[in-house]
Chain A
Amino acid sequence: MAQEPKDVLVRMHEELERALQKAPEERRWVMVIDLRKCVGCHACTIACVAENKLPPGVVYRPVVEQERGTYPNVTRSFLPRPCMQCDNPPCTPVCPVTATYKNEEGVVVVDYDQCIGCRACLVACPYGARTSDFGYTYTEELPVLDGAIVGREKADDYEVAANYEYGREWARTSHASPIGNARKCHFCLHRVKEGELPACVSTCIGRATLYGDANDPDSVVSEMIKLPNVLRLKEELGTEPRVYYLV
Chain B
Amino acid sequence: MAKKQETKTVSPAKKLFDFKSMTKAEKTAIAIGAVAFLLGAWGLYTRLFVGEREVGYGSYIVWGLWVSMYLFLAGVATGSYMLAVLEYLFSVPMFKGTGKAALWAGLVTMPAALASIGMDLGHMERIIKVYLQPNFFSLLAQMVWGYTIFLLIVVVTLWLAFKHKEGEAVSGLFKFVLWVGFFMAIFLSGGVGALLGVNASRPYWSVGLLSVQFPIFAFASGVSLMLIVVGWFMHLKDEEQRFHLFRWLGWVAIALSLAKIYILWAYLSQAWYSQVPDVMVPLNEILFGRYWWSFWIIQIAIGTVIPLVLHMIPKLAHDGFWAGAIGVMVLVGFAAARANIVFPAMSVEMLDGLPNAFFGPHLNILYFPSNLEWSVTLGVVGAAVLAFVLGAQFLSVFNKPNTEVK
Judge whether B155 is part of the interface by a CB distance below 8 angstroms: no
Interface string of A112-156 (1 = CB under 8 A from B): 001111111011111110111111100000000000000000000
- Residues of A close to B137: CB separation below 8 A: 93
Judge whether B350 is part of the interface by a CB distance below 8 angstroms: yes
Minimum C-beta distance from B293 to chain A (A)? 25
Judge whether A62 is part of the interface by a CB distance below 8 angstroms: yes
- Residues of A close to B276: CB separation below 8 A: none
Judge whether A73 is part of the interface by a CB distance below 8 angstroms: no
Interface string of B108-131 (1 = CB under 8 A from A): 000000000000111110110110
Judge whether B93 is part of the interface by a CB distance below 8 angstroms: no
Bound complex: CA A64 to CA B58 (Å): 19
CB pair B122–A180 under 8 Å, yes or no, is yes
Given contacts A115-B122, A124-B199, contact A64 B353 (CB under 8 A): yes
Binding-face segment, A13-21, A27-35, A95-103: A95-103
Judge whether B273 is part of the interface by a CB distance below 8 angstroms: no
Judge whether B139 is part of the interface by a CB distance below 8 angstroms: yes
Of A59, A123, A132, A180, which is in contact with the most chain B CB atoms at under 10 Å from its CB? A123
Minimum C-beta distance from A110 to chain B (A)? 12
State the majority secondary structure of interface residues on B: loop
CB pair A123–B63 under 8 Å, yes or no, is yes
CB pair B122–A64 under 8 Å, yes or no, is no
Given contacts A56-B361, A181-B122, contact A64 B63 (CB under 8 A): no
Identity of the chain B residue whose Cβ is nearest the Cβ of A174 in the assembled complex:
B51
- Residues of A close to B51: CB separation below 8 A: 134-135, 175, 179-180
Minimum C-beta distance from B347 to chain A (A)? 12
B interface, size bucket? 35 or more
CB pair A135–B140 under 8 Å, yes or no, is no
Judge whether A94 is part of the interface by a CB distance below 8 angstroms: yes
Bound complex: CA A237 to CA B138 (Å): 19
- Residues of A close to B144: CB separation below 8 A: 96
Judge whether B360 is part of the interface by a CB distance below 8 angstroms: yes
Given contacts A57-B59, A124-B201, A237-B201, contact A115 B123 (CB under 8 A): yes
- Residues of A close to B127: CB separation below 8 A: 116
CB pair A114–B360 under 8 Å, yes or no, is no
- Residues of B close to A116: CB separation below 8 A: 121-124, 126-127, 129-130
Bound complex: CA A84 to CA B48 (Å): 34
Identity of the chain B residue whose Cβ is nearest the Cβ of A127 in the assembled complex:
B350
CB pair A119–B123 under 8 Å, yes or no, is no
Identity of the chain B residue whose Cβ is nearest the Cβ of A119 in the assembled complex:
B62
Among A66, A114, A135, which residue has its beta carbon within 8 angstroms of that of B53?
A135
CB pair B350–A126 under 8 Å, yes or no, is yes
Judge whether A58 is part of the interface by a CB distance below 8 angstroms: yes
Judge whether B321 is part of the interface by a CB distance below 8 angstroms: no
Of B130, B137, B350, which is in contact with the most chain A CB atoms at under 10 Å from its CB? B350
- Residues of A close to B141: CB separation below 8 A: 96-97
Count of A-B contacts judged by CB separation below 8 Å: 154
Given contacts A96-B141, A96-B144, A114-B129, contact A119 B122 (CB under 8 A): yes
- Within 319-355 of B, Cβ neighbours of A (below 8 Å) are at 346, 349-354
Judge whether A79 is part of the interface by a CB distance below 8 angstroms: yes
CB pair A64–B354 under 8 Å, yes or no, is yes
Total number of A residues with any Cβ neighbor in B under 8 Å: 48
Minimum C-beta distance from B300 to chain A (A)? 27
CB pair A134–B133 under 8 Å, yes or no, is no
Minimum C-beta distance from B67 to chain A (A)? 9
Judge whether A45 is part of the interface by a CB distance below 8 angstroms: yes
- Residues of B close to A120: CB separation below 8 A: 138, 140
- Residues of B close to A123: CB separation below 8 A: 62-63, 199, 201-202, 346
Interface string of B268-282 (1 = CB under 8 A from A): 000000000000000
Interface string of A35-48 (1 = CB under 8 A from B): 00000000001000
Judge whether A233 is part of the interface by a CB distance below 8 angstroms: yes
- Residues of B close to A125: CB separation below 8 A: 201, 350
CB pair B351–A119 under 8 Å, yes or no, is no
CB pair A81–B123 under 8 Å, yes or no, is no
Given contacts A116-B121, A127-B351, contact A132 B58 (CB under 8 A): yes
CB pair A94–B352 under 8 Å, yes or no, is no
Of B62, B126, B352, B362, which is in contact with the most chain A CB atoms at under 10 Å from its CB? B62
Judge whether B28 is part of the interface by a CB distance below 8 angstroms: no
CB pair A136–B361 under 8 Å, yes or no, is yes
Judge whether A85 is part of the interface by a CB distance below 8 angstroms: no
CB pair A58–B354 under 8 Å, yes or no, is no
- Residues of A close to B60: CB separation below 8 A: 128
Judge whether B285 is part of the interface by a CB distance below 8 angstroms: no
Judge whether B313 is part of the interface by a CB distance below 8 angstroms: no
Among A64, A119, A237, which residue has its beta carbon within 8 angstroms of that of B357?
A64
Judge whether A195 is part of the interface by a CB distance below 8 angstroms: no
Judge whether A157 is part of the interface by a CB distance below 8 angstroms: no
CB pair A62–B358 under 8 Å, yes or no, is yes
Judge whether A63 is part of the interface by a CB distance below 8 angstroms: yes
Minimum C-beta distance from B208 to chain A (A)? 18
Judge whether A177 is part of the interface by a CB distance below 8 angstroms: yes
What are some 11 contacts across the A-B interface (CB < 8 A)? A56-B361, A58-B360, A62-B358, A63-B357, A90-B201, A96-B135, A125-B350, A126-B201, A134-B58, A180-B52, A237-B201
**The 8 nearest A-B residue pairs measured at CB:** A117-B122, A180-B122, A128-B350, A126-B201, A62-B357, A96-B141, A131-B59, A57-B360
Contacts from A to B (Cβ < 8 Å):
45, 56-59, 62-66, 79, 81, 90, 93-98, 114-120, 122-128, 130-136, 175, 177, 179-182, 233, 237
Contacts from B to A (Cβ < 8 Å):
51-53, 55, 58-60, 62-63, 120-124, 126-127, 129-130, 133-135, 137-141, 144, 198-202, 346, 349-354, 356-358, 360-363
